[in-house]
Structure formats: structure tokens, C-alpha cells
Amino acid sequence: MLRFTLRQLEYFVAVGDAGSIARASEQINVSSPSISSAISQLEQEVGLPLFVRQHAQGLSLTQPGREILEQARLVLREAGAIMDIAGDISGRVRGPLCVGCLVTFAQIILPSLRRRFEDRHPNVRIGQKEMDQAALISALRRAEIDVALTYDLDLPADLQFTGLVKLPPIALMGDAHPLKDRASVTVEELVGYPMVLLDLPSSADYFLSLFDGLEERPNIAERTRDMAVMRSMVANNFGYSIANLRTLSNTAPDGKRVHIVPIAGDTRALRMGFLTAQDAARSQAVRAFIEQGADLLDSGQMNKLGGDIAT
């Protein structure tokens, strides 16, 4: 009779997803020796090698390891359902919860949201992952994350979106930009100036779509996939950029100033909210985490970041 624990399966899935024990340790906040010991015990119990150890390249799943990984996900999901039933009966929210967040605003929203949630629900073990939109959708479908905080960009029909706030586009400019002191600007006024494009899947398409219908296309001078780099390039006058979320500071990471100018006209606002699988509502932890989103609205934090209640 096989004897293994859910904790061993949890660590095994974490290493399988991360590709190394060190990265898994960072993601689930468990020491590397504890994870390594759990994996070894699991391999001994099933009588099969689950990983190929490559000295310089981390761990790769063996063929048996790939098959067992998928089954381990199912076991953990069903174990989570049992915990949800127990939580509903006892009135306590408990169990593991993996949260994904769009990389463009993870540093602004996720830490404070997690802090409030964990203070309120200390029996929930939370992990987090920061990804682009395509990766978040893929991770939800593979049950690698339970809920994602993201925008309503390219959402597939098989996932469920719960909107929190609407975030209209804003222009970011450096001190040398001639439009930095305007009360607002239009895309027609921006189009001829150099642009620093935040070049992430879905996000870049949205920013460029704001110029649809104009005879002239945006003058893309620079591209970056990093929000902090984008802000610093704007502050150093490589061009303006477009975002949907204000930061609470008007300075870039290098200390130079970034000016925020609302974009006027008939432009599409994005909705920020929670994306889940269709059956996620059965998880008490997911339900509680989504309800926590209302606290962001009640606290007024989203008003400071440029948001309005979503409709």
C-alpha cells in the first residue's frame, strides 16, 4: 500500500512547475532541504524516479514523473474540495491558495491584498505567481493557480471574470515632454511623439488599439516588458508611455519624476478583476479572496490608483 502525504504531493507539484527546488522554495516559502527530503521520500514510496537531476540545469520531469504530476494535481484539487466542505461546516477558511497576478501591477496591488487576507484568514497558505496575461490563462486552465488578478483582456469563454474597477488609460511623460502640464491629452495629440511601449502579450495590443482609426500610427521608439524599466525610460525622456494604473508615487525607480496626464476622448477603459475557472466558486478560499477585493474599493485605494467601480 502506497503511503505518501498531501504535503509531499504539494512540494512535488511545486518543483515540477518551477523546474528547480530553489525556485520552488522561493515560491511556496518552504526550505529547500524540506522540499528535497519530501521529493526523495515520494520517489522511494512510488519506486520510480520523478526527476532527472541535471547539475547546471535544475530538474526535469521523467516520463513517469509527468504522468504522476497530472494525477497529483487532481488529488490536491479533490483534497482542497474536502477542506472546503470542512471549512463551510466549521465556518473557517483554510487550505492552500495559489494566486496569480498580472505582472504590470503585481507590485502595486498584490502585497497589500495578500496582507489583509492572511491577517483575516491565518489558516490559508498562500502562494503567488506574477505572469503576463497569456500565462495566467494557461495556468488557470492547468490548475496551477486558483485565481488571477488581471484585466479583461482577451478573456476566453471557459473562464469566469469578476470585475472590480474600471481603469481608463493615462499617459506617462518625463519632465522634458511638451505635453506634461496639460490637464488631458488625446491620442491624436500623442501619436507623433516617441512612445515607450510596454510590450507584453495582450497589453501591447490594447495600448496600440487606442490609436485605431487614426491615419498615423504610434511612433514606437522603445519597447520593454518591464513596468519599472518603462517608467524610468519615460522619466529619462525617451518618450511617453501609456498605462491604466497610477502608482502612489510620481517618481520612477531611479528617482526622476513621471508626470501623469489623463487621456481624453472615446478610449476603452480596462476592467481589473478576478479571473477563475468556472468551478472555482466551490472553493471557500477563492470565494473569500474575491470578496477581499471589495475591501480595496472600500478603502479608497483604487481611487488613488485611478479606478472607478466597475459596471
The β-bridge relationship of strands 170-173 and 241-243 is antiparallel
Q: Where do the domains of the chain lie, and which CATH numbers do they carry? A: 1-91 (1.10.10.10), 95-162+273-311 (3.40.190.10), 169-262 (3.40.190.10)
Q: Can you give the pLDDT of all 311 residues of the chain as single tens digits?
A: 667 888 888 889 989 988 888 888 888 878 888 898 889 989 988 898 999 877 666 788 999 899 999 999 888 877 777 766 666 555 567 778 889 999 988 988 899 889 989 998 888 888 889 999 999 999 888 778 889 999 999 999 999 999 888 999 999 999 999 999 999 999 999 999 999 999 998 999 999 999 999 999 999 999 999 999 999 999 999 999 999 988 878 999 999 999 999 999 999 999 999 999 876 656 788 888 988 876 765 555 655 555 554 55
Strand partners, 61: 51
Helices (H), 92-153: 106-120, 133-141
Q: Are 54 and 48 contacting, i.e. CB atoms less than 8 angstroms apart? A: no
Distance CA 8, CA 43 (A): 10
Rounded Cα distance, 107 and 105, in Å: 5
Q: Which residues of 206-218 are buried (b: 16+ CB within 10 A; e: fewer)?
A: bbbebbeeeeeeb
Cα-Cα end-to-end distance for the chain:
54
